[in-house]
Amino acid sequence: MLLNRRHIRIKILQVLFAYHSDEKPDAVIYEKTLHGSFEKFRDLYLYLLQLITEMQSLAIDKIEAGRNKKLPTPEDLHPNTKFVTNGLLRILANSKALEKECKSRVISWNENRDLLKQIFKILQETDDYKEYMLSKERGFEHDREYLLRFFRRHIINVELMHDYLEELNIFWIDDLDLASSMVLKTLKKIEENEDDVNLLPLWDDENKDEFKFMIDLYRKSLGMGTETEALITKYAENWESDRIATMDLILMKMALTEASIFPEIPLKVTLNEYIEISKFYSTPKSSVFINGMLDKIFEVLKVEGKIKKTGRGLIE
């Protein structure tokens, strides 16, 4: 499974913020937007996998260009092919599964070949790449170790690539760390004797809890919105709800909803998650305000029996 719950919460937050900024919001339409945002996340995952294969394509082009020179050097005629024959890279580059899904989703780097060349040039200039090319060691695990290193240390950190991805989707910079970790997970799972790649699904059939969590949290956050906003206004100590930052209000409403409808999630987890999210998506003082507000309201709701936690370690 690609997604973790923090990422799910953030996606819902982004959609709810758009919903509350809309003059005539439609919950059904925005639920489709939410589903679409997760599909876009998968697109990013595929873009990054394809980006790695493009490095091999450029390395092959470089070798062919050298051989076709009018006055080729000995190095042009006898190039170092260690990178293009990297065992893990070859499996990825020849993956029918990756090719098929990228084609169906119209994912391609073809329109930005100059960027790819810049990324490959940056990679070639790194000590890691030079060390790999000069090393006499061979073997699949050796190839894997360096390909993971190339991606983790260099390819994924090229700022020009970040700018390009942000142009394609403004949320992809937020998604980049998680998508990158999933790329690394995919590469680590490939075995030497395999002839294709097992792409990770967004939601797996064995564990549908995360998908249900996403649907329930989105729908209930809207459905309980009037109730949770009234609670926030009541305990905000002379702060009317329209004076509270919209992002803070949505975060607290989501947290109160989550605390109320998911008995298996500890209150501390819910509290900490929304405080951490607020540090990235709201004002500098928001985390302190949200912490104080939620702590206060959680205590009231526990006393009133409106928050009930079940299971070992969940009862506070």
pLDDT of res. 238: 66
Neighbours of 183 (CB within 10 A): 25
Q: Please give the CATH architecture assigned to the domain spanning 224-303.
A: Orthogonal Bundle (1.10)
Residue-wise pLDDT for 232-286, tens only, equals: 999 887 666 567 889 999 999 999 999 999 999 999 999 999 999 999 999 888 9
On whether the CB atoms of residues 248 and 289 are closer than 8 A, the answer is yes
Which H, E and C letters describe the chain, residue by residue? Answer: CCCCHHHHHHHHHHHHHHHHHCCCCCHHHHHHHHHHHHHHHHHHHHHHHHHHHHHHHHHHHHHHHHHCCCCCCHHHHCCCCCCCCCHHHHHHHCCHHHHHHHHHCCCCCHHHHHHHHHHHHHHHCCHHHHHHHHCCCCCHHHHHHHHHHHHHHHHHHCHHHHHHHHHHCCCHHHHHHHHHHHHHHHHHHCCCCCCCCCCCCCCCCCCCHHHHHHHHHHHHHHHCHHHHHHHHHHCCCCCCHHHCCHHHHHHHHHHHHHHHHCCCCCHHHHHHHHHHHHHHHCCCCHHHHHHHHHHHHHHHHHHCCCCCCCCCCCCC
Q: Smallest Cα–Cα separation from 171: which of 24, 2, 18?
A: 18
What average pLDDT does the segment 128-135 reach?
96
Q: What phi and psi values does residue 71 have, to the nearest 5 degrees? A: -130, 75
Cα–Cα distance, 292 to 198 (Å, whole number): 45
CA distance 186 to 42: 13
Q: What is the pLDDT of residue 315?
A: 47
Shortest CA distance to 39 belongs to which of 217, 203, 222?
A: 203
Tokens standing for residue 1: 């499974």
CA distances from 247 to 10, 102, 280, 281 (A): 11, 35, 11, 8
pLDDT at 1 over 80: no
190-242 pLDDT, tens digit each: 999 998 999 998 887 656 789 999 999 999 999 999 999 999 999 887 666 56
Q: How many CB atoms lie within 10 A of CB 126?
A: 15
Domain segments of the chain: what residues? 5-189, 224-303
Q: Which residues contact 77 (CB under 8 A, 6 or more apart)?
A: 66, 67
Q: How far apart are CA 182 and CA 79, in angstroms?
A: 33
Q: How confident is the model at residue 313 (pLDDT cuts 50, 70, 90)?
A: very low
What's residue 273's pLDDT? 96
Q: What is the pLDDT of residue 76?
A: 67
State the average pLDDT over residues 67-79: 79
Q: Which two tokens stand for residue 235?
A: 């305990």
Average pLDDT over residues 279-297: 92
Q: Which of 222, 198, 170 is nearest to 31 (CA)?
A: 222
Closest CA to 260 of 196, 299, 309, 211: 309
**Residue 316 pLDDT > 90:** no
Residue 71 is predicted with a pLDDT of 81
- Are 251 and 9 in contact by the 8 Å Cβ rule? The answer is no
